[in-house]
Structure 1
Amino acid sequence: MLYVITGPPAAGKSSWIEAHATARDIVIDLDRITVALTGPGAPHWNHAPLQQRVAQRARYAAIDEALQHLDRLDVYLIHTMPTAKAIAKYKRLKARIVVVDPGQAIVMARIAAMRSPTMERVATRWYNARRHLPQPAMPQTSRPW
């Protein structure tokens, strides 16, 4: 089964996966990939552009390979803002699309506390485009912050 986890930055997408995935599942999360590909002490968020570029290429390769094995394992894919084309592809693959959104005020507070200010723009774009996405599967906060 393919699970596509979407939501604004700092919404709790990774926490949702931590609560649902097992050690046997595949988790494709750009932040986790970037941390795995960078040296000791690298930040968990706010990665440098070159590190992000390398991680993004690894993410695409992981997605391509994982989709070939959906009959044998579950895949959890974080996709913050999937395009209409991506959503159509996920629906063809019979994916479960999960929207994690604790609310704009909580997201903006988390971004202010933990993330780069540029993520505020990403979150604002996500909320502006939200009307095109399925309704949230998790209207409460993901964990105590």
Structure 2
Amino acid sequence: MLYVVTGPPAAGKSSWIQSHATARDIVIDLDLITRALSGPGAPTWNQDPLQLRVAHRARYAAMDEAFTLCDKTDVYLIHTMPSPKALAKYKRLEARIVTVDPGREIVMQRIEAMRDADMQRVASRWYRRRPKQSPGAMPQASRTW
């Protein structure tokens, strides 16, 4: 099964996956990929453009391969704001879309406390463009904070 986990920055998408995935599942998380490709001392949520460029390429390669394995293991993909084209592809793959959203106020507080201030713009854009709930979507908070 393919799970596409959406939501604004700092919503708890990674936490949701941590509470649902097993060690045998595949997790594709751009933050984790970027961290794995960054040198010692890089921030946890690294937004360096050069490292992100490489991480995005690695993410696309991982997605292509993982999508062929959904019948053998669960695949969890974080995709903050999937485009209509991406959503169509996920629908063809019979993905379950999970929207993690604890609410705008909480998200903005978390960004202020833990993330780069630029992520507030991304979160604002997510809330403006927030996808309408599609059949099978499961809106929820990641955990009790």
- TM-score, normalised by the number of residues in structure 2: 0.93
String of CA shifts for 1:28-71, please: whole Å, max 9, x gaps: 00000011111222211132110010000000000001001111
Letter in 2 for 1:32: L
Q: Distance in 2 between matches of 1:38 and 1:25?
A: 23
Q: Is residue 2:92 matched to residue 1:92? A: yes
Secondary structure in structure 2 of the residue aligned to 1:68: helix
Question: What's the counterpart of residue 137 of structure 1?
Answer: 139
Q: Is residue 2:12 matched to residue 1:31? A: no
Q: Is residue 2:47 matched to residue 1:47? A: yes
Percent identity reads 67
Q: Distance in 1 between matches of 2:144 and 2:12?
A: 8
Contact preservation (8 Å) 2:2, 2:70: yes
The number of residue pairs the alignment matches comes to 143
CA displacement at 1:143 relative to structure 2 = 4.1
Unaligned runs of 5+ in 1: none
Contact preservation (8 Å) 1:15, 1:143: no
CA displacement at 1:132 relative to structure 2 = 2.9
Deviates more, 1:41-50 or 1:3-12: 41-50
Letter in 1 for 2:51: Q
Task: Give me the CA root mean square deviation.
Answer: 1.4
Q: Distance in 2 between matches of 1:91 and 1:109?
A: 33
Q: Distance in 2 between matches of 1:17 and 1:136?
A: 13
Secondary structure in structure 2 of the residue aligned to 1:18: helix
Contact preservation (8 Å) 1:46, 1:115: no
Deviates more, 1:125-134 or 1:113-122: 125-134
String of CA shifts for 1:94-140, please: whole Å, max 9, x gaps: 000000000000000001111111111110110011143446521x4
Q: Distance in 1 between matches of 2:59 and 2:13?
A: 16
Question: What's the counterpart of residue 112 of structure 1?
Answer: 112
Contact preservation (8 Å) 1:101, 1:136: no
Q: Distance in 1 between matches of 2:131 and 2:94?
A: 21
